[in-house]
Amino acid sequence: MINTDGSQPSVNYVSYDNNQKKNFGGQNYGQTYNSRGRFNNSYRGRGNRGGFRGRGRSQGSRVTCQVCQVAGHTADRCWHRYDQSYGGQGQQQGNVSNERDNNNNLSNGRNPTLNMAHLPNNSNTSNEEGWWFPDSGASAHVTNDMNNLHSASEYGGSNRLQMGNGQGEHISHIGNTVLHSPQSDKLFHLKDLLHVPGITKNLISVSKFALDNSVFFEFHHLFCVIKDQATQAILPKGMLKDGLYRFNLDHHGEVRNKEHYFQNKPCVFTSLVCGNLDISLWHKRLGHCSYDMVKRALRGCNISFNNKKIVSNVCAPCILAKSHKLPFNASTSQSLSAFDLVHTDLWGPAPLDSVNGYKYYVTYVDDHSKFTWIYLLKQKSEVSSTFRHLYNQVETQFHMKIKGVQSDGGTEYKPLTEFFKDKGIIHKISCPYTPQQNGCAERKHRHVVEMGLSLLAQSNMPLKFWDDAFTTAVFLINRVPAKSLQFESPFEKLFKQKPDYTCLKVFGCLCYPHMRPYNKHKLEYRSTAGVFLGYNAQYKGYKVLLPSGKVIITRHIVFDEENFPFLSKTAGQGSDVHHSQPIFASTEPTVASFPATYQSHTQSPLPSFDHAQKTPEEEENSLSISKSHGSVQSDESFATEPLRIEPPPLDQNDHSSCRMMHSSENNATGFRNTNQHPMVTRAKAGIYKPKVLSAEVVGEFEPKNVNDALEIPVWREAMQQEYNALLRNNTWTLTTLPKDAHLVGNKWVFKVKRNADGSIERHKARLVAQGYTQTAGFDFYETFSPVVKPTTIRIILTLALSYSWNIRQLDVTNAFLNGDLSEVIYMKQPKGFEKDGNLVCKLNKALYGLKQASRAWYMKVKSTLSSLGFKNSKADCSLFFFNQNGIQIFILIYVDDILVTGNNDRLIHKLVEKLQGHFSIKDLGQIHHFLGIEVTKSCEGFHLCQREYIKKLLWKAKMLNASKCSTPMITSSHLSRYVGNPVQDAAEYRSIVGALHYVTITRPEICFAVNKVSQFMSNPLEPHWKAVKRILRYLAGTDHYGLNFHKPAHMNITGFSDSDWASDIDDRRSISGHCVYIGGNLVSWSSKKQNCVSRSSTEAEYRSLAQVVSEVSWIRYLLDELSVSQTRVPHIWIDNQSAIYLSSNPILHARTKHIELDFHFIREKVAAGSIQVNYVPSFDQNADILTKALGLQFFTRQRKSLTVIPHPEFELREDESQHT
């Protein structure tokens, strides 16, 4: 054998021709071998040497060299061991005796021809294919069959295989292989396997095999085994035959390289073929269903195929997508006719929105035919409309009616209750936590998702294309034979005709649609590379994704089903296409490089579908932007499908559609600063801020200037609507500018308005006056904006729950335009709508952006409500109430968003009608999405959540895919303004922290952490930014959490106060924290650093108590103003006995002189009986979470005490997972 150091040790004999003992040189070597290749004796050493341990020789014991056959020494001490030309001693060989003399065949005076693996191969010796023989003396694995090698290469060394007779055999090739045994699932690797044509048997080096596979050998009298080194489990078992131990090991996977020859046929519906298509290609075309189903489908349609290339049933996309637990037992019942029973279930929400903004899909499965309909949804509330569509379709197309529906009883099916009763449909509902009773729909989800993921995996398309993959999967599932239908397809079962397989193509493959009708001039190419996205039931053609992001449907296509654009760097034109290796070696199918519209942020080169090679500068400028938007409907829903795709919004999961261009790229373009001014600027020094080149689809992003907006139809229409509204409102009058008059500029502002689920509601363009050019005392005098306090909103929500009132939401269109101006203001004409360059606008009404615009609107709405009998609250001037003759109505105003609630819905309806007579108001119905807060109403109350805002914030901070954490701040955190290096972008730090403040409106548990990082806004350091990122990581894992409100049994006030004394390591100021409940609902909280240093913990607690007493007093004043009765005085709980004593003891002493004002304030409230201060143990102090960072166990407990819980939808899902 060959050692790694190049030496050639002796070769062991593997076995003899029979099981009889042999004598070499008169010595007994007839023992069986052990795992080390030595003789199996009861004594240690290399043989039975007189019954003693050790290597000592017994008297008269002489060994025979295996190289020269001379007695008296061993092979390792032989002079001829390394002599390549040595041919042996001829007649000087030792005598070899055998008990069966008729088997002694002497040749040329040498040893008889024994059964030795090292002897040269000849016609009389046949190779035992599949058998491998362990050799403890071998240093490498050896085979004589070239087919046993994977990735073989010629052996370039000069070493030869040293044989037992002293000769060296030529080594032809070297490679690797993988073996497996039918007795176990473990794969065995043979590394550096040598191909020696002259060897007669396949040899396994025991030492190398054991090392490479973490196993060990055990040799017994009649058999041997290989055991796992860690578990001691028996893997393969070998038997003893003719004195040889041998294992039956087979090859695993493909050994020989296959070549594929294809020929392009540039005709419609034609792929690259060569004779009969490979069955693996049909396996891909049919959505990676089983090979048995593929064969049955093709044979049923009389389609020939090539079945010779299947070497292994392993398909990587199938393994990636279909790994699952063991299934439940299938149901044996089946309906006798179609539509007797329809199974349905909702899937979602998806972890990321699709390119068309879909979050869910619902399936309907006919129990008789197993035919499946799929509808893509953006909201769960759309389920009812999809079933009505299916019901009408069945009634019209099949002249039948749906008789029964099986579902899991989800809330999305409740709106159909009356419809089921009217149509006589029996609605069967599975028991709670028993999804097996709706197994048909549940299994269909698995089938759809697995096949869809397989389609995405084979093409490496981003996961946001799951809607196209799933609809294609349903299209294929309906056309693939099903075992439950006696191998008929659902399509054939329902429509009584066989499906047409000739039109099927591989999802995500490269295709070339005919583009001549879309060309703008005659010199454009007639086709372009695209990606096949699936089928459409309404058109007899294919969906194709173009590099521009546009989706077209056409029948004139040439397919290249062996290549996938998302896997290749480049794709040329015509039939001669050169494809390179995939850009990303990872098998993760979430990162794609095609097209530019959906390009991930990566340093890998972008794939180009242009016909000429572009420079980097041209490539950056060629990021195509589709100018249309729409949605892709379900394939089987037969709904009208627009021809263009709608990419994901900017604040969704795919935040990687921007490419950064740094200063080095600017230099590469040849830019050179020619400014000769002596001032040294950043531009002269070559310092540039990163520039973001947007590659989103137009209509999703917000234009930055008027010129960009005017080129986009959807934004141009929004501008026209805003301009028309201003003219209808008589906002200005065109006139000439008087002499010495001040002229105010204006600007167009663009905003994409979204629904609670993140989908687009509308595109809003607003003309804003440039108020920063106004002068106080000349252009304006007073300013004010009607912004209701968050605490007031929570109190009104609690009050509405207490009395079971409805809350109505209104939106005032162009609210500021309703305000009347008392000053004369001149403004430039709006850009894009200029009438005459010499005329200006004299404003008759207030306009957004003016300093006094918000106050003018407030005064207008205040006068209108006062005329209707409403009073303005003194506690919160943005709250209006009507309380007469037992009728109570409350109005909350937040600029142009209004909430209305009360005990008389009829009068509220009349109120809305009257307000619509004064202002342009949209009635949004029941509260559902207010100020970016998702309000979910249930039978138990309200849940306030900011999921979409948090996702947008995470995208802004580039932390959408950040790892999650369980707490917003670590307990050992001690942030200082002096420790750490400055952050690179202080503006980004301030922006993120400011956004986090808005999140605390519904997330009080992060209030302390946000307050802490807010203390370093002027000079943020790296440790501060690290703390901010931890808060974001916490929010990423709990974005579905929010503030919960339940129906209270009373309206009593309860407060908790706490402080953390001298916790700031820089100035030793204390942290105050408090929270206030009304009827168990949290309505107010605060975490704030005190203004001065407290000299004792009592002082710190007392100052914190003063803050909560002020808050409770204001809340009680507001409730009294609204005529809300309470059964007791407010109770305030603190965990400091000294502070409680000070609040009731009139005696002052030296330690409390400096807090005399706070003392008198609290003491007066306590003495008057307005509040009651009680003691609570620190363990039960709810405000503790607002003063310090807590460990996970205490933090989770405190978070729950603040009524912060998961969204009801997620909470139900977590409960189900715990019960299953």
Q: Which residues pair with 532 in a beta bridge?
A: 544
Supply the pLDDT for residue 679: 55
Q: Long-range contacts for 42-51 (Cβ within 8 Å, ≥24 apart)? A: none
Supply the pLDDT for residue 85: 56
**Which of 785, 750, 793, 753 shows the shortest CA–CA distance to 768?**
750
Q: How far apart are the first and last CA of the chain?
A: 58
**β pairing state of 404-407 and 342-347:** parallel
- Catalytic residue, chosen from 17, 135, 651, 896, is 135
Phi, psi at residue 1119, to the nearest 5°? -65, -40
Phi, psi at residue 292, to the nearest 5°? -65, -40
Enumerate residue ranges in the chain where pLDDT < 50.
1-61, 90-127, 254-275, 311, 569-674, 684, 688-699, 1148, 1150, 1212-1220
Give CA 661 to chain center in angstroms.
26
Q: Which residues pair with 1075 in a beta bridge?
A: 1056, 1085
Contact 624, 596 (CB under 8 A): yes
Supply the pLDDT for residue 676: 52
Q: Which tens digits make up the pLDDT trace of 18-51?
A: 333 333 333 343 343 344 344 444 333 444 444 4
Supply the pLDDT for residue 989: 92
Q: Which tens digits make up the pLDDT trace of 940-950?
A: 889 999 999 99
Supply the pLDDT for residue 531: 93
Supply the pLDDT for residue 756: 61
Helix ranges (H only) for 156-308 are 206-213, 279-285, 291-300
Concatenating the DSSP letter of every residue in 961-982 gives TPPP-SSSS-TT----SSSSPB
Contact 592, 462 (CB under 8 A): yes
Q: Could you confirm whether 985 is annotated as catalytic?
A: no
Contact 742, 826 (CB under 8 A): yes
Supply the pLDDT for residue 574: 39
**Which of 719, 726, 737, 462 shows the shortest CA–CA distance to 589?**
462
Domains of the chain in start order, with CATH, are: 23-251 (no CATH), 708-925 (no CATH), 932-1047 (no CATH), 1049-1188 (3.30.420.10)
Contact 831, 748 (CB under 8 A): yes
Supply the pLDDT for residue 1158: 61
**What tokens does 118 get?**
């090292």
